[in-house]
Homo-oligomer: A and B are copies of this chain.
Amino acid sequence: QVTGPSGEGTDAVVILEKTPFQEEKVSDLLKKHTKLELQMRNDIYSTYHLYPPPELSEIKTTVVYPATEKHLQKYLHQEVHLIRETWEDYKNITLPFIQSQSFSIQWVYNILEKKAEADRIIHENPDPCNGFVLVPDLKWNQNQLEDLYLIALVHCREVKSLRDLTAEHLPLLRNILEEGKEAVAKRFGVPGSQLRIYLHYQPSYYHLHVHFTALSYDAPGSSVERAHLLADVIDNLALDSTYYQKRALTFALRADELLLKKFQEAGRV
């Protein structure tokens, strides 16, 4: 809270960000530091506290003032909790929750039916069961390959997520993996060995889709508590058709998400 000229309290948002090192200033940092304090030594490894002079440790500061309630909400820290969802949890808590939500996926159908983004399609396999459409994700501006991000949307509309997959979907999944890699190599020159190809669980929408991101890109949602490599999914299903109707799956939920509340009500958190 900032006290304004007329004495009333008015909220401000102040964002402090440490910025990346500038390569050309690193040698200054090592020469001019005011203080270097040994913390720990073990064999050839040691750690120190280094206290740099102010001009070498700029903090980027952004101020929103006066800030509205909406600005405050946007920047408030949300606690995140891991859920370990068993198959029973899925049937009793998650599935009824998904079915009760009426989050529109019309935008997905628009793409599949060529009513939107038709000119953006990178590849299509038109088979209604085992086919899919590959399009650039909206998060990618296509200006550089460093943050390459594409999405494969399946044509069939019955598969909500990883939890619905069985061995019967292997032809579809293998098509996505093989044709997707080929299409990305052909169009963008990025080989399959430099692509991270994965599903999310929980996904952000319940129409099966697969993410293709550049391996060098630390894409949001590519961490182990959310991403499942398509190659692993295929191997798990080949090993056991009901793998994803048996195995507990881990995912994170933010404190304000309704699904977390459902798990809490069920005494599962």
Contact = CB atoms under 8 A, between A and B. Distances in A.
Instruction: Give the interface centre of A18, A39, A61, A236 by most chain B CB atoms within 10 Å.
Output: A61
Interface residues of A, number: 80
A58 B63 CA distance: 23
Contact of A16 (B50, B116, B193, B194): B50
Interface stretch (A94-102, A150-158, A163-171, A246-254): A246-254
A30 interface: yes
Contacts of A65: 44, 46
B195 A82 contact: yes
A40 B231 CA distance: 32
A43 B116 contact: yes
A235 interface: yes
B64 A58 contact: no
> How many monomers of this chain does the complex have?
2
Interface of A: 14, 16, 18, 21, 26, 29-30, 34-36, 39-40, 42-55, 57-67, 79-84, 106-107, 110-111, 116-117, 120, 138, 141, 192-196, 198, 215-216, 218, 222-225, 227-229, 231-232, 235-236, 239-240, 246-248, 250, 252, 269
16 contacts: A16-B26, A16-B50, A29-B59, A42-B117, A43-B116, A44-B66, A45-B62, A47-B60, A50-B61, A52-B57, A82-B192, A224-B228, A231-B250, A232-B247, A235-B248, A236-B247
